[in-house]
Every structure is written in C-alpha cells, then in structure tokens.
Amino acid sequence: MPLIAAGTTVLGQQLCSPGWVDVSGARILDCGPGLPPRPPDVDLPDAVVVPGFVDIHVHGGGGASYHGPDIMRAAEFHRRHGTTTTLASLLSASHHDLLTGVRALAEATRAGVVAGIHLEGPWLSAQHCGAHDRRQLRDPQPSEIDALLAAGDGTIRMVTLAPERPGADDAITRFVDAGVVVAVGHTDASYEQTQHAVALGATVGTHLFNAMRPLHHREPGPVLALLEDARVTVELIADGVHVHPAVLRAVIEAAGPERVALVTDAIAAAGRGDGSFRLATLDVDVVSGVARVRGTSTIAGSTATMDQLFRTVAAGSGLAAAVHMTSTTPAHALGFGDVGSLRAGLNADLVVLDRDLELTAVMAGGQWVLDDGMSHPHALRRLT
C-alpha cells in the first residue's frame, strides 16, 4: 500500500506541486495536492507523476508484433515506456488470418496483456492504403463482420474503415450496435460522406491527415469534417515525421486537448534501431528512425513510444494538455472508465518522470514495472 509523494503530480487536469497518490492493491485509494497525509513510502521531490499512457493505435514494438505470436513481448516493451493501457491494432489481412489474429488477441485481452483489439481494415481505400497490403482490401460484408465479432467475443473495441466503400453504412451501424467504436481512416471520402459516417456513429479519426484525402479549399474532404465535429476524437502521430509540428500545434489549438488522442502507430521496429523488418505481409526498412515500405516513400507506422510523444507535446502545450492527449482523451474515446487519470477508485497506473520529462519508472495495476527484479526500478531509487 505505497503512498507516493512527488514534486509535481497531475491530478485530473490540475498540476499539484507537490502532490501525492495513495495506492491500495491495484487501485488508487486517494490522492491530492500538497503534502501527503502521512509520511510517504516513496518520496520523489524531483519527479513528475502522471497517469499511465493509453495508446489506442499500436502494432508492436521491441522486435515483436501484435500480428504474431509475441504479443506479450510487444506489450511489455511499450509498458516499459509508460503505456499501461494498450489497444492492439491489426492490419488488413485475409479473412482467415484476421480471425486468427483476433482470436489470439482476444485471449491476450482476457489475460490482461492488452485492453482490446483495434481492426485497422481491411475495409479501407486502395487509394490511401498506406502500409496495408492492397490485395487484402475489400468491401465490408455482414457475414465477415459477424464472424469477427463472434471471434472477438467483446474484445474488439475499435475498427477503422473507409466510409465511401459499398456496405460501409451497414458496417458502421453493425459495429456501433455491438458497442465497437468506429473510426474513419485510410479513406478517400468526401466531406459529406465523412459527415454521414459521423451521423451514423463514427467517433474517431484515425491518424488525422495520414492516409486520407488531403484538405482542399474547394473539397475539404474528411479532415475538416472530422475536425469540426465535437463528437469526434482525432488521432495524431506526434513523432515529427507523420505530421509537421506546425500542423500538430494548429490541430491542438483548433480541437483542444480534449479531442486529440496521441497514438504511436508503432510497429515491431520501435526500440530496435535501423534495419529491415516485416509488417504483416510487407517488407519495411527503417532509416534514421523512419519506417517505410521497401522501395517506396510510403511511411509504414512509426518507431515512436508514448513517453517520446508526451515530451514532444508537453514542450509545446504544457503538462496538463500532454496528460489529456496521452491518457485522458484516448481513454474517454474508447470508453475505458478505469484509466486515463489519477483519481481515487481508478486503476493505479502511473508514470514517473524526471525534471526533463524522461521516464524513470512505471506502475501498472499497483505494481512497479521492474528493471532489476527488486522492489522498484533503479531509476526510481535514484529519485528518492
């Protein structure tokens, strides 16, 4: 039952300097600003404590993929970088391979390794397929949707689709009725088609700007339709590659941190340096940290981690906004009610950062994510 005191703690959207969090088992018992109610078990006067990160769009990391057998290894890699809640993303694949992937991730969800499944395709635009195998793209069919929902048994939490594809209206309705969040992405949809998808129940824009019809002053396309609707949360990959920093700032200012969810869209190459990798059926080369489909200029996900994205947006938008975009907003967008904030009764998921916002320790479900098999990580001990 550790009581943790820190030089700065972000509680809700309040910066508390100092602040404290009292953990009991897997939950937060209490928290507050100022000095703790009793001597702390862990005293971190030079640290910043924020909620665990929530990544709702990630394909792998640390050399492992959510598309393969090493689901645990990928999740553990990102947990060490502060992601305590992961929505594991699957790329477009054949019906058989997609069912296999869903069944494996459904088991991992029930085991608590990940928080659910994101189907990024296969109902996407061939014109904006990005790093998806265009041979696997198809129109949504009720029979396939029903089979995938049955295989997931409640673990499919989000799907990305292109609303202009035949059958998309029925697909959106089917998924929404099943309690699945529908995201618009990899799309050539018009402004009006996107508005229609939102009216049917789509509430997320998948990695805004990337792999979608670009904004044009006479045909604004999906970007403006997603940005201007208060019901929609927009994903942004704030790695300095997918979106220009000026565009990142403009979107945050226009939509507000309450509607921007930072995502890594990371692939197995994250944390592995430059080299050659596999992304589902495609070969990918990473050069200077940027992943591209071999022989093309097409960006193939990212090599980012959530702690990196947190530092980027905190530098420009402040700590409270960074917490919103890396924890609170994505949790709200997916209906994850037990995470996303440091508040009494929620999961004891938190990240400890130093004064430079470099990650030093992670707690998930009330347990320290260890680096040495001892009671808490070396980095944390250096801060006490």
pLDDT 10s per residue in the chain (384 long)?
A: 799 999 999 998 899 999 999 999 999 999 999 999 999 999 999 999 999 999 999 999 999 999 888 999 999 999 999 999 999 999 999 999 999 999 999 999 999 999 999 999 999 999 999 999 999 999 999 999 999 999 999 999 999 999 999 999 999 999 999 999 999 999 999 999 999 999 999 999 999 999 999 999 999 999 999 999 999 999 999 999 999 999 999 999 999 999 999 999 999 999 999 999 999 889 999 999 999 999 999 999 999 999 999 999 999 999 999 999 999 999 999 999 999 999 999 999 999 999 999 999 999 999 999 765 445 665 666 665
Considering 22, 188, 265, 349, which one is annotated as catalytic? 265
Is residue 120 marked as binding?
A: yes
Peptide bond into 214 cis (omega under 30): no
The residue to which tokens 């990337």 are assigned:
210
HEC letters along 318-384 = CHHHHHHHHHHHHHHHHCCCCCCCCCCCCECCEEEECCCCCEEEEEECCEECCCCCCCCCHHHHHHC
Inter-residue contact 266 to 61 (CB < 8 Å): yes
Residue 265 designated active-site: yes
Q: How far is CA 156 from the centre of its chain?
A: 15
Is residue 79 marked as binding?
A: no
Domains and CATH numbers, the chain: 3-51+342-369 (2.30.40.10), 53-334 (3.20.20.140)
Residues 6+ apart with CB under 8 A from 350: 4, 21, 49, 50, 51, 52, 84, 342, 362, 363
Is residue 210 marked as binding?
A: yes
Integer Cα distance of 161 and 197 in angstroms:
10
CB hemisphere CA count around 153 (13 angstroms): 9
pLDDT in tens, 249-296: 999 999 999 999 999 999 999 999 999 999 988 999 999 999 999 999
Mean pLDDT of the chain: 95
Is residue 324 marked as binding?
A: no
pLDDT in tens, 154-166: 999 999 999 999 9
Is residue 117 marked as binding?
A: no
